[in-house]
């Protein structure tokens, strides 16, 4: 296999660890904090997790190691969508295991949780690990979205672990994956199985965070990758001076990615889903907001611009959410077959008009036909509209175009509007991790072994103080149940990790809010360029603007 020069060089990069972990674990001790409570629904969460609820937060510090020395056999899986740095979590875990005792063993289960269920694994050695250091992707063992949530599955996992002598599992994943980790840890504790479970916080969406978990890994690299492309698009827009670029970025439930990319590149428009929901903005109001920027710039002779659209924004528009709900009800059960058998779009349109309330049909009717049809594409496994398939960037550009036609007829707009469309998603998930993500992920993996060595279970590996140099980072652990609440899922209440949405009173949004009116009219573009791996620390090792603002930098 041919290896690029950058990949060869990245193999040799030595990730930076928190100062306290740099000399191994021989002189590391535990400092316990206060007992924890779940973020909401404390009584219900405690009842569901009687063996793992209320545990104390912990930090590691210099001192006499009081852990019990023993051979450790650990299993690890990658779960859910890819995020840059996943390989380094495994590398850090492996290095910590081997630095403690060369006889320690690390099993990598292939294809995510299904690898545990099917007993499909690889035993890591130095040569295997060295081929993946500081590289992007999850291809070291693959990932998957199988959920571990039934008693039968838990029993199988327990049997597989017992078969190989595994006494700890590390689950690298997002909110759903770490919810599964908490449930699995509770099962093992109730069974007295002697198997620990440790999670690592992963998601490029940035919504697995709180005051303890300062950011999920992969967010830094993904947003820098997207911002490079957005900056290039801005430069092209400013050069050609004739296109409005509508750029959709990943983020189904939260707009952290869109906000961070806006802070890095300063586009003319950036929608924030949480603000749309808070202000109960209609499609027409959002369209007016974007069209105002187009018209105001055109009045200055600038018939170009850039607008960022979060992937899931339409779900936050109240009238659109009602429409989606009614469509789901309209096509429930056998009605979906009846609809699909209609011979033409006109027939289907009449079926839709007859089945929706007048208010929802009014919303449906103003949508471009292509978007109308996207609402009736392949359903998800629960029979619901797959909102991620809706090309919201094309929806808003089409509605803006109609809005501008009306303004032109009224004599309030004389510009030209030529939209182009982009969706930035998969481009950021497997990029070479930035120095920050390389360091952060390696530290998360190394720290996960510290939690295992000290006997903790149901904990997330936690590295904090992240806006400072790695030497000042603080390692520790947080009970997963602290992040949990009850949510309605598929007709029943279930414990899940609460997603962290953009805080409209938080420093990152306030910084953006104070400047966006200027960006909307003037050309204030910033061109971040490609991720830099070598050079001054202020160029190569800085983290996101979001994290810096959150920590007052």
Block mean pLDDT (10 aa), the chain, length 553 = 87 93 84 95 96 96 87 97 97 96 97 97 98 96 93 97 98 95 97 97 93 94 98 98 97 93 98 97 96 98 98 91 88 84 93 94 90 79 69 94 96 96 95 97 97 97 96 96 88 88 97 98 98 94 94 86
Answer yes or no: is 3 within a domain: no
Q: Are residues 94 and 205 in the same domain?
A: yes
Is the whole model's pTM more than 0.85, yes or no? yes
Answer yes or no: is 22 within a domain: no
Asked whether the beta carbons of 31 and 153 are under 8 A apart, the reply is no
Q: Please count the CA atoms within 13 angstroms of the CA of 229 that sit on its side-chain side.
A: 20
Q: Are residues 260 and 368 in the same domain?
A: no
CATH code (residue 359): 1.10.10.480
Read off the tokens for 426: 């998969």
DSSP code for 330 = H
As for how many domains the chain has, the answer is 3
Answer yes or no: is 59 within a domain: no
Q: Are residues 209 and 178 in the same domain?
A: yes
Give the residue numbers annotated as catalytic, written as ranges: 205
Which of 164, 153, 154, 166 is closest to 194 using CA atoms? 166
Answer yes or no: is 12 within a domain: no
Q: What is the DSSP string of 148-201?
A: --SHHHHHHHHHHHHHHT--EEEEEE-HHHHHHHHHHHHHHHHHT---EEEEEE
Residue-wise pLDDT for 365-416, tens only, equals: 988 888 888 888 766 665 666 777 789 999 999 999 999 999 999 999 999 9
Residue 383 has a pLDDT of 62
Q: Are residues 399 and 298 in the same domain?
A: yes
Q: Are residues 259 and 351 in the same domain?
A: no
Q: Are residues 165 and 77 in the same domain?
A: yes
Residue 350 has a pLDDT of 94
Q: Are residues 408 and 440 in the same domain?
A: no
Q: Which domain holds residue 351?
A: 312-390
CA distance 99 to 31: 22
Residue-wise pLDDT for 518-538, tens only, equals: 999 999 999 999 999 999 999
Answer yes or no: is 378 within a domain: yes
CATH code (residue 397): 3.40.50.460
Q: Are residues 146 and 265 in the same domain?
A: no
Read off the tokens for 305: 């611009």
CATH code (residue 148): 3.40.50.450
Q: Are residues 100 and 136 in the same domain?
A: yes
Could you give the C-alpha distances from 47 to 38, 51, 479, in angstroms and in order?
Answer: 12, 9, 16
Q: Which residues pair with 244 in a beta bridge?
A: 305, 419
Q: Are residues 117 and 260 in the same domain?
A: no
Pairing of strands 244-249, 305-310: parallel
Q: Which residues contact 217 (CB under 8 A, 6 or more apart)?
A: 83, 84, 85, 86, 89, 200, 201, 202, 437, 440, 441, 444
Please classify residue 410 by burial: count the beta carbons closer than 10 Å to its beta carbon, then call 0-12 exposed, 13-18 middle and 19+ buried.
exposed
- 221 sits in which H/E element: helix 219-240
Asked whether the beta carbons of 545 and 552 are under 8 A apart, the reply is no
CA distance 372 to 362: 12
Answer yes or no: is 42 within a domain: no
Backbone φ and ψ for 246, nearest 5 degrees, come out as -105, 115
Q: What is the DSSP string of 377-410?
A: S---TTS---GGGS-HHHHHHHHHHHHHHHHHHH
Q: Are residues 424 and 506 in the same domain?
A: yes
Answer yes or no: is 62 within a domain: no
Could you give the C-alpha distances from 221 to 148, 188, 228, 367, in angstroms and in order?
Answer: 28, 35, 11, 35
CA distance 229 to 246: 13
Answer yes or no: is 33 within a domain: no
Q: Are residues 325 and 395 in the same domain?
A: no
Residue 390 has a pLDDT of 83
């Amino acid at each position: 296999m041919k290896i690029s020069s950058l990949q060869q060089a990245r193999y040799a990069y030595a990730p930076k660890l928190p100062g306290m972990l740099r000399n191994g674990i021989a002189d590391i001790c535990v400092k316990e904090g206060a007992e924890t409570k779940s973020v909401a629904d404390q009584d219900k969460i405690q009842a569901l997790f009687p063996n793992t609820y209320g545990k104390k937060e912990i930090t590691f510090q210099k001192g006499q190691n009081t852990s019990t020395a023993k051979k450790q056999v650990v299993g690890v899986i990658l779960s859910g969508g890819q995020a840059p740095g996943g390989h380094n979590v495994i590398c850090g875990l492996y290095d910590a295991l081997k630095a403690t005792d060369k006889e320690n063993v690390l099993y990598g289960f292939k294809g995510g949780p299904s690898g545990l269920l099917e007993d499909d694994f690889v035993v890591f050695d130095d040569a295997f690990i060295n081929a993946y250091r500081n590289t992007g992707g999850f291809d070291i063992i693959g990932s998957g979205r199988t959920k571990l949530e039934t008693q039968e599955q838990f029993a199988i996992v327990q049997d597989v672990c017992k078969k190989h002598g595994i006494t700890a599992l590390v689950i690298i994943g997002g909110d759903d994956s770490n919810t599964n980790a908490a449930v699995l840890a509770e099962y093992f504790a109730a069974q007295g199985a002697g198997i620990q479970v440790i999670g690592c916080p992963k998601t490029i969406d940035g919504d697995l965070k709180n005051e303890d978990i300062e950011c999920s890994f992969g967010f830094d690299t993904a947003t820098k990758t997207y911002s490079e492309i957005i900056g290039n698009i801005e430069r092209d827009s400013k050069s050609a001076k004739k296109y409005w670029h509508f750029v959709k970025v990943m983020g189904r439930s939260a707009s952290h990615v869109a906000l961070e990319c806006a802070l890095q590149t300063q586009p003319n428009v950036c929608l924030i889903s949480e603000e749309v929901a808070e202000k109960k903005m209609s499609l027409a109001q959002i369209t007016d907001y974007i069209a105002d920027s187009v018209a105001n710039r055109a009045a200055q002779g600038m018939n170009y611009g850039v607008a960022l659209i979060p992937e899931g924004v339409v779900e936050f528009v109240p009238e659109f959410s009602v429409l989606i709900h009614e469509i789901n009800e309209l096509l429930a059960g056998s009605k979906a077959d009846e609809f699909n058998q209609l011979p033409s779009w006109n027939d289907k349109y009449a079926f839709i008009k007859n089945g929706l309330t007048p208010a929802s049909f009014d919303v449906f009717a103003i949508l471009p036909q292509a978007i109308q049809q996207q609402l009736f594409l392949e359903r998800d496994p629960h029979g619901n509209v797959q909102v991620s398939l809706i090309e919201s960037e094309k929806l808003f550009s089409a509605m803006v175009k109609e809005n501008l036609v009306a303004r032109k007829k009224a004599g309030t707009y004389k510009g030209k509007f030529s939209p182009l469309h982009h969706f930035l998603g998969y481009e950021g998930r497997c990029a070479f991790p930035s120095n920050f993500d390389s360091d952060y992920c390696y530290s998360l993996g190394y720290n996960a072994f510290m939690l295992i060595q000290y006997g903790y279970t149901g904990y997330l590996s936690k590295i904090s103080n992240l806006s400072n140099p790695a030497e000042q980072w603080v390692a520790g652990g947080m009970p997963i149940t602290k992040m949990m609440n009850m949510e309605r899922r598929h007709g029943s209440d279930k414990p899940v990790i609460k997603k962290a949405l953009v805080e409209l009173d938080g420093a990152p949004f306030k910084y953006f809010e104070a400047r966006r009116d200027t960006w909307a009219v003037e050309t204030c573009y910033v061109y971040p360029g490609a991720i830099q791996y070598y050079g001054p620390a202020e160029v190569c090792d800085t983290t996101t603007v979001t994290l810096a603002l959150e920590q007052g930098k």
